[in-house]
Amino acid sequence: MTGRDPKLDAVLTATPAAAWTAIFTKLWDVFSAPLTPQHVERDVTDRERKISELELLLSGSAWELWRDYENSVPRASQALIEFWNKTPGGKAVLILDALSLREVPWLLQEAKRRGYQLHQAGVRGSELPSETTPFAKALGFSGRSALENNDAGFAHHLTGARTESLGAEWGSCVDWIKSAPAIALWHHWPDDRIHQLAEPGEALKQLSREAAQVLTSDAFWKLIERMTEGRRLVITSDHGYAACGLFTDVSDRDQAKWLKDNFGSMRFAHGAGTPHHWLPPISLCLTTVHGERQFALGRRKWKSAGGYPTLAHGGLSLLEVAVPFIELSSTKG
């Protein structure tokens, strides 16, 4: 039998910043390892199980670490603004809405196979809540739709960018890329599919198969090729997603009722919510830079009308808040 990971005990005694660094390092070690299309469903599910102890720690004895999240975790929005400000010349950003760490291996493997130079790759944090609009606001946009038709104005932090928000086929996105030296494209995949697959079923397996196909396709990499013509490119995400179909059902009847009454089928709620007395807590009220919110804590699900979604985001579990941040460039002249 495999013993308890000693790194978990170190998380309990470390400073919040050091603890979160160790947690994100562990996530990268687990999820960035190579994948093969033949075993992708099994391997992605196995990786979810590999971090179950870490998830349990953060919803049990180390739940207070979530109160230090915003002060301790380097967030994707901050990293994106820093990249934008420090990169002279051509630069580009591709935000893949709801891309999680599960999909990272395809990007790393294909970038290497297709001859791109990797400048940095690692984990960053989403905003709280792990939703689209808070991320957009952190970049100075009113929302994702503000990027449409290069109509984002001049008050955002990606100064000088030609902007677009699209859910179109990759080939249509290629047509959008012009000769502008600075571009920011926010694409709606895989978030659109996550919401389409949210009904109870084999959603994680299906999305894992589709992600393998999409992120190794010539059509997707034609877009990357066009975006890196004379530009340094960052691929990142606004938030990840939880595979709630693998979560444990809350067995305590009072707790399940409280969660249903406060969250419905969502992973967070606006405002402070109704206090509860359970320890360790089943939810946390946090005052974030985006306001006061109540968050579902950890890998919990409960019965709700229509069934709890199999894929969701907005709560406090690691794969909802941890996102990839990959910077690359073309080696072609």
pLDDT in tens for each of the 333 residues of the chain?
355 676 677 788 899 999 999 999 999 999 999 999 999 999 999 999 999 999 999 999 999 999 999 999 999 999 999 999 999 999 999 999 999 999 999 999 999 999 999 999 999 999 999 999 999 999 999 999 999 999 888 899 999 999 999 999 999 999 888 889 999 999 999 999 999 998 877 899 999 999 999 999 999 999 999 999 999 999 999 999 999 999 999 999 999 999 999 999 999 999 998 889 999 999 999 999 999 999 999 999 999 887 899 999 999 999 999 999 999 999 985
Bridge partners (DSSP) listed for residue 209: none
- Locus of tokens 């990027």: 147
Query: What is the 8-class DSSP label of residue 152?
Result: -
Please name the residues in contact with 217: beta carbons below 8 A apart, sequence gap of 6 or more. Answer: 170
Measured CA to CA in angstroms, residue 64 lies from 4, 52, 59 at distances of 21, 18, 9
Cis amide prior to 129 (ω within 30 degrees):
yes
Residue 28 and residue 182: Cα distance in Å, rounded? Answer: 29
Q: What are phi and psi of 97, to 5 degrees?
A: -60, 120
Please name the residues in contact with 302: beta carbons below 8 A apart, sequence gap of 6 or more. Answer: 249, 250, 255, 256, 259, 260, 308
Query: What is the 8-class DSSP label of residue 316?
Result: B
Q: Give me the pLDDT at residue 1, please.
A: 39
Measured CA to CA in angstroms, residue 36 lies from 64, 90, 96, 106, 208 at distances of 37, 33, 21, 9, 11
What's the pTM value of the predicted model, to 2 decimals? 0.96
